[in-house]
Amino acid sequence: MSLEKKDVQRAALLARIEITETEANETFEQLGKVFDLIEQMKIINTDDIAPMAHAQDISTRLRDDVVTEKDRHEEFQEVAPATERGLYLVPKVIE
Which DSSP category does 84 fall into? E
Using CB under 8 A as the binding rule, the residues of this chain from 42 to 61 that contact another protein are 42-44, 46, 49-56, 58, 60-61
Cα separation, 30 vs 72, in Å, equals 43
Cα separation, 88 vs 90, in Å, equals 7
Using CB under 8 A as the binding rule, the residues of this chain from 7 to 26 that contact another protein are 7-8, 10-12, 14-19
Based on the shown chain and the rule CB under 8 A, indicate whether residue 93 belongs to the binding site for another protein: yes
Residue type, 18: E
Cα separation, 34 vs 58, in Å, equals 32
Contact positions toward another protein, by CB under 8 A? 1, 3, 7-8, 10-12, 14-19, 27, 30-31, 33-34, 36-44, 46, 49-56, 58, 60-61, 63, 72, 75-76, 78-82, 88, 90-91, 93
